[in-house]
Chain A
């Protein structure tokens, strides 16, 4: 299981990478494995400002659908439109080309409440 040490994580299996006050967000390797083959990612919240744990989109796999939750509050600046034509990037490269959104974080202090790699590894056992 790939859990990069430099990222932060949520109990709902999103990851977050911070660069200044801009966070890149996606779902973890564990999450993509549990979902199976991903068919598309739907994000219709670009331009909106959402609170922590609000739903920013959904991910549809062949067998199941799952909501996507904001790890922290912020304004959604961008959706990875590479996923429009190649949603399987979430399966093949969940921490790289399979990223989902970029967010301008409202309160950077919230980042501290996210799980680190070790805590996330413990969560998924």
Chain B
């Protein structure tokens, strides 16, 4: 089991620790609901140092990224970030990721912890361009400081004008007295805020500085439990649940990050899917009758015939109702379609809706 640099800090705070993607990570500190609420209304801090980071350098770095990712990385300028995915050559998804353009010949890819080795092997395998690749995951820490008060809470720590930063942009600068910190206006919560990348050696210092600066704003540590409910309220995909090696980006509603103005792995099969349509689609749904959908529960139609499978589900803490995502046969994917979730052998009524579930 790997530990992040903040493991002792989480234990000292009384976090419930769980194994996740090979790391021992905090599931919750005070409680999932209060942590969720903190991020929606104030500011919360997640240690997400388990995430992976690769640096790609060289004059053909963009060419390699264009080949392995589905989105059009040529649209990036310095300081911009893009959500993208790695098609697997069989119509599925190796991983979803963020692509950071540091400069014209240097990019950072941020990948899921559970996929670091798989992604590295996949991208390396396509690196016929002589691009220099460096895996900095093990020496890089990452804090996600999320919530409507995040900019105000952190501003005293940096000269970077945080409130002015556009969504999906980043700046490298001085933060908590340390130079060359990457401050990124991104997150997985829909609550606004920042993700801060730095070397492991600064972890305790930065954690303490962030909590001191945020004290007056009600800052609290937040675990993976609330991270999942927050992302699901936004309808954000979780790799391993909603997308994986067997789901295509078109089926998953990720057509918006699949750009056909360039060549890339699986372009042909995905063009065909886009033009001809897909047999199943990832949809969001809300429960009408009482029950909580969970990963792998069957989805059935009014006659009880199987039409799909739940990929994520929870009681939404913000909306106080049960929500989920799942793949259904295309005929049932329209917003407003009545579907049924099979919960302990009972068909419980739900309706297809368009995410985000939480509209702020």
Contact = CB atoms under 8 A, between A and B. Distances in A.
Interface stretch (B27-35, B165-173, B259-267, B278-286): B27-35
Contacts of A42: 290
Contacts of B229: 62-63
B141 interface: no
B315 A39 contact: yes
A40 interface: yes
Given A36-B28, A37-B31, A37-B33, A60 B225 contact: no
B31 A60 contact: no
Nearest to B314: A62
Contacts of B225: 36, 62-63
Interface string A27-48: 0000000001101101000000
Interface in A52-85: 58, 60, 62-65
A36 B33 CA distance: 9
A70 B102 CA distance: 60
Nearest to A33: B16
Nearest to B320: A39
Interface residues of B, number: 14
Contact of A60 (B28, B228, B292, B317): B292
Interface in B15-38: 28, 31-33
B314 A36 contact: no
A40 B290 CA distance: 10
Given A36-B225, A37-B33, A62 B290 contact: no
A37 B290 CA distance: 17
Contact of A63 (B290, B314, B344): B314
A36 B344 contact: no
A40 B292 CA distance: 10
Given A58-B344, A63-B314, A36 B292 contact: no
A62 B294 contact: no
B292 A37 contact: no
A25 B344 CA distance: 22
Contacts of A60: 292, 315
A39 B292 contact: yes
A45 B32 CA distance: 30
Contacts of A39: 292, 315
B294 A65 contact: yes
Contacts of A64: 294
A105 to B, nearest CB: 26
Contacts of B314: 62-63
Contacts of B33: 37, 62
Nearest to A39: B315
Nearest to B294: A65
B344 A62 contact: no
A3 to B, nearest CB: 19
Nearest to A55: B344
7 contacts: A36-B32, A60-B315, A62-B33, A62-B229, A63-B32, A63-B229, A63-B314
Which 7 A-B residue pairings sit nearest by Cβ, starting from the closest?
Answer: A39-B315, A37-B33, A60-B292, A62-B315, A37-B32, A62-B32, A36-B32
